[in-house]
């Protein structure tokens, strides 16, 4: 479900016409729908309600603090992976007991910050990290609640860059090593070993890899309990899909139907870390066509958004549906770009950056595009702004949040002063 829709051939976000937002805030512009965000969060929560889980929204997918405040207000905790994300989570107002801190390379300063803040769970990914955490917690006189991240060696069949649960990947430790860690640190006062963490990849469009990974984790938990550990927590991570083309992502209820029976009644507190499934379809990127040109082989729509604002096509060959804001009568009701109809032309939609990887869409059927037209790049609520850069010294774009007919600027457009601020050092 999302609250972006064409009415009378014009794109609306809730009760705001998206073209009006572009006129008011300029382009490129990220537009988020608060209603969509909330609906996705609530639907996910309801699907897994039988487990009474702790939902820790994964900040890395869309980290604007105004969005985090909304999520905190709806009861969400946060999955953080850096001191910066911890800082955002604390600003957002959810209690730190609802934070989980993952990541293969936590620094001493980040461990100290997490421990001082009272983060609910630190997900430890190596023996080296565990030893350091014990030293850091010991020096502070604090006890860290810890889950060991299990690498279950399950292939989630995502893009190779976003698969995280096989032995090829840097994440977590295998079951034997996890058992050794529990054995070695069970009686160490500076850490309380609470359980296991998993995160197998993103997006995972099949429930089967989750089932396989969780079964391995449950087997290991049974062994750890036999060994004498009080395991009470299983964090199954995120990775749940979102629709880019439409139809590819199982609904929250389908993941829940497979996973709830596996996890129910095990004496475990279950933690979930969804990101994309909550945020992706709650946002889009609006861009203006600067020029149209034809190389003889390809027709290019050169737009003012770029790999700065959306790096996913360049990095993962990701598909994002692109369509004019003002589609006139030309768009069939459920059109998602896959069934070209009469009158379309094929374009590469590209940005101004000096790289041939700077494209938002390739070989895309579009109504004839003219200079000045506004285009929407859909499904940009996750891993778009949060992966944005200033490459080519282009200030980052603004973000607005729409709720009904109310519009809130939640991040102003950066300026050239912002570009240079951190370089004012001497
Ligand atoms: N938990 C952990 C430990 C993670 O590493 C991630 C994502 C998540 C949860 C949230 O996953 P989600 O529910 O959003 O799929 N930049 C890539 C995605 C990288 C995901 C990294 N980890 C993309 O644009 O597709």
Per-residue pLDDT at 43: 97
CA 217 / ligand 1 centre spacing (Å): 20
149 CA: nearest ligand 1 atom = 3
User: DSSP assignment, residue 326?
Assistant: B
Q: Tokens 């209603």 correspond to what residue?
A: 35
Distance 79 CA to ligand 1 centre (A): 10
Report how far ligand 1's centroid is from the alpha carbon of 417 (Å): 32
Judged by phi (left if over 0) then psi (alpha if -120 to 50, else beta), residue 345 lies in beta
The answer, yes or no, to whether any atom of ligand 1 lies below 6 A from the CB of 233, is no
User: What is the 238 CA–ligand 1 centroid distance (Å)?
Assistant: 7
Structure tokens at 408: 């809130």
Nearest in space to 303 (alpha carbons), one of 313, 288, 314: 288
The preferred substitution site among 202, 205, 243 for testing ligand 1, maximizing ligand atoms within 8 Å of CB, is: 202
Q: Which of 61, 62, 354, 380 is catalytic?
A: 354
**Which of 61, 121, 171 to probe ligand 1 with, by most ligand atoms within 8 A of CB?**
61
Contact 326, 19 (CB under 8 A): yes
Task: Identify the CA nearest to 118 among candidates 92, 135, 96, 149.
Answer: 96
pTM over 0.85: yes
Q: Is the CB of 199 under 6 A from ligand 1?
A: yes
Q: What is the pLDDT along the chain (426 residues), one digit of tens a residue?
A: 689 999 988 999 999 999 999 999 999 999 999 999 999 999 999 999 999 999 999 999 999 999 999 999 999 999 999 999 999 999 999 999 999 999 999 999 999 999 999 999 999 999 999 999 999 999 999 999 999 999 998 888 888 888 888 888 889 999 999 999 999 999 999 999 999 999 999 999 999 999 999 999 999 999 999 999 999 999 999 999 999 998 899 999 999 999 999 999 999 999 999 999 999 999 999 999 999 999 999 999 999 999 999 999 999 999 999 999 998 756 655 666 556 667 889 999 999 999 999 999 999 999 999 999 999 999 999 999 999 999 999 999 999 999 999 999 999 999 999 999 999 997
Q: Does the beta carbon of 383 lie inside 6 Å of ligand 1?
A: yes
Q: Is there an atom of ligand 1 within 6 Å of 312 CB?
A: yes
Give dist(CA 57, CA 71) in Å, integer.
8
Both tokens of residue 11?
A: 């794109």
Atom of ligand 1 lying closest to residue 204 CA: 15
238 lines ligand 1 (CB under 6 A): yes
CA distance 283 to 295: 32
List the residue whose alpha carbon is closest to atom 20 of ligand 1.
202
Q: Domains in the chain, please, with CATH?
A: 4-32+280-421 (2.40.37.10), 35-277 (3.20.20.10)
Question: In this structure, which residue's CA is closest to atom 8 in ligand 1?
Answer: 238
Q: Is 79 in the pocket of ligand 1 (CB under 6 A)?
A: yes
Of 62, 80, 124, 239, best ligand 1 pocket probe by most atoms within 8 Å of the beta carbon: 239
Token couple for 17: 């016409």
Of the candidates 48, 38, 83, the one whose C-alpha atom is nearest the C-alpha of residue 236 is 48
Cα(57) to centroid of ligand 1, in Å? Answer: 10
Cα 201 to averaged position of ligand 1 atoms, centre (Å): 7
d(CA 376, CA 127): 46
The closest residue, in CA terms, to atom 15 on ligand 1 is 239
Query: Tell me, what's the pLDDT at 330?
Result: 62
**102 Cβ closer than 6 Å to some ligand 1 atom:** yes
Q: Atom 6 of ligand 1 has which residue's CA nearest to it?
A: 238
Question: Does ligand 1 come within 6 angstroms of the Cβ of 381?
Answer: no
Give the list of residues 6+ apart from residue 417 with CB closer than 8 angstroms, or none.
none
Q: Which of 58, 89, 250, 252 to mutate to test the pocket of ligand 1 (most atoms within 8 A of CB)?
A: 58
354 is catalytic: yes
> Which residues share a beta bridge with 326?
10
């Amino acid at each position: 479900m999302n609250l972006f829709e064409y009415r009378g051939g014009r794109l609306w976000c809730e009760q705001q016409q998206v073209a009006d937002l572009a006129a008011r805030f300029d382009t490129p512009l990220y537009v988020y729908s608060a209603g969509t965000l909330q609906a996705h969060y609530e639907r996910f929560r309801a699907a897994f309600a039988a487990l009474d889980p702790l939902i820790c929204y994964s900040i890395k997918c869309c980290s604007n603090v105004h969005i985090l405040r909304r999520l905190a207000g709806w009861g969400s905790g946060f999955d953080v992976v850096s001191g910066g994300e911890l800082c955002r989570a604390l600003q957002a107002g959810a209690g730190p007991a609802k934070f989980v801190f993952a990541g293969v390379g936590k620094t001493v300063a980040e461990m100290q910050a997490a421990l001082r803040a009272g983060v609910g769970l630190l997900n430890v990914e190596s023996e080296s990290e565990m030893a350091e955490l014990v030293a850091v917690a010991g020096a502070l006189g604090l006890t860290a609640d810890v889950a060991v991240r299990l690498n279950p060696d399950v292939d989630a069949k995502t893009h190779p860059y976003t698969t995280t649960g096989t032995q090829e990947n840097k994440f977590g430790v295998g079951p034997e090593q996890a058992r050794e860690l529990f054995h070695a640190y069970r009686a160490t006062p500076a850490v309380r070993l609470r359980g296991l963490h998993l995160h197998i990849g993103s997006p995972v469009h099949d429930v089967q890899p989750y089932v396989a990974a969780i079964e391995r984790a449950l087997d290991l938990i049974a062994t750890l309990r036999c060994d004498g550990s009080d395991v009470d927590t299983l964090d199954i991570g995120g990775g749940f899909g979102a629709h880019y083309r439409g139809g590819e992502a199982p609904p929250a209820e389908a993941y829940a139907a497979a996973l709830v029976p596996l996890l129910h009644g095990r004496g475990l507190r279950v933690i979930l870390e969804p990101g994309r499934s909550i945020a992706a379809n709650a946002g889009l990127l609006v861009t203006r066509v600067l020029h149209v040109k034809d190389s003889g082989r390809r027709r290019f729509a050169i737009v003012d958004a770029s790999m700065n604002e959306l790096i996913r096509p360049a990095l993962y060959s990701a598909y994002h549906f692109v369509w004019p804001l003002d589609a006139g009568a030309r768009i069939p009701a459920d059109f998602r770009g896959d069934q070209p109809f009469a009158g379309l032309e094929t374009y590469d939609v590209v940005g101004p950056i000096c790289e041939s990887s700077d494209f938002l869409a390739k070989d895309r059927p579009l109504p004839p595009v003219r200079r000045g037209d506004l285009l929407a790049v859909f499904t940009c609520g996750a891993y778009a702004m949060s992966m944005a850069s200033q490459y080519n010294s282009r200030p980052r774009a603004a973000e607005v949040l729409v709720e009904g007919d109310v519009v809130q600027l939640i991040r102003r457009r950066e300026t050239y002063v912002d570009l240079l601020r951190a370089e004012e050092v001497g």
